[in-house]
């Protein structure tokens, strides 16, 4: 009797594995600049590009791919791409909080694909953002934009799910 229960529990556990969320093909994460007093347990060093300097970012992203509802990619004159990201309610709140509390510091965007991870851009936070849209102004590759548009619907198509 005990072995039958154990077998049924094992089968139920294996059956539940297929019901989880599908993994993302591309991840887009925004990290807030850490304060100078934060320890290495909470912050990691990074080289900022705008303005060029050494700084620290928080180890936990403020905004990540699960917050993204829709995207609007666009070409930039330097040959790269930019993309606006419409966030869900949780992401909108996180963006509003970081843009209010960390004014004057930076928000650093990282994009990860199968090809690797790279720091795309760091943006100085100069105003409070309440509309739930965060934009990477430049620095995305064509491969990254292709993966992003396959994963999320375009703005205006927010009701459609693309992740498959």
Q: What is the mean pLDDT of the chain?
A: 85
Q: Show the domain range for 107.
A: 27-151
Distance from chain centroid for Cα 58: 14
Q: What is the structure's pLDDT at 113?
A: 87
The model's pTM is 0.80
pLDDT tens track for 39-88: 778 898 899 887 788 999 999 999 999 999 999 999 999 999 999 999 99
CATH number of 139's domain: 3.30.1360.200
Any domain includes 3 = no
Give 123's contacts (C-beta < 8 A, 6+ positions apart). Answer: 50, 106, 107, 108, 109, 137
Inform me whether the pLDDT recorded for 15 exceeds 90. no
Task: Quickly state the pLDDT bin for 8 (edges 50, 70, 90).
Answer: very low
Q: Please give the pLDDT value at position 161.
A: 56
129 occurs within a structural domain: yes
pLDDT tens, residue by residue, 19-38: 445 567 899 999 999 987 77
Count of the separate structural domains present in the chain = 1
Complete DSSP assignment for 1-55 = -HHHHHHHHHHHHHHHHTTSPPPPSSEEEEEEBPPTT--TTTEEEEEEETTEEEE
Helix (H, G, I), strand (E, B) or coil at 74: strand
Q: Residue 88: which of 72, 70, 71, 67 has the closest Cα? A: 67
Looking at the domain assignment, is residue 22 inside a domain? Answer: no
């Amino acid at each position: 009797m005990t072995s039958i229960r154990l077998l049924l529990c094992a089968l139920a556990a294996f059956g539940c594995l297929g019901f989880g969320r599908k993994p993302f093909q591309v991840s887009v994460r925004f990290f807030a600049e850490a304060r100078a007093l934060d320890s290495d347990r909470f912050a990691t060093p990074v080289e900022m590009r705008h303005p060029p300097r050494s700084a620290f970012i928080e180890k936990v992203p403020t905004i990540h791919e699960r917050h993204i509802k829709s995207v609007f990619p666009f070409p930039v004159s330097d040959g790269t791409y930019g993309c606006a990201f419409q966030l869900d309610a949780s992401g909108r709140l996180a963006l509003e909080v970081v843009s209010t509390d960390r004014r004057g510091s930076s928000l650093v965007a990282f994009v990860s694909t199968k090809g690797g991870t790279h720091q795309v851009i760091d943006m100085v936070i100069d105003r409070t953002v309440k509309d739930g849209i965060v934009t990477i102004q430049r620095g995305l590759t064509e491969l990254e934009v292709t993966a992003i548009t396959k994963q999320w619907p375009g703005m205006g198509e927010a009701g459609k799910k693309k992740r498959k």
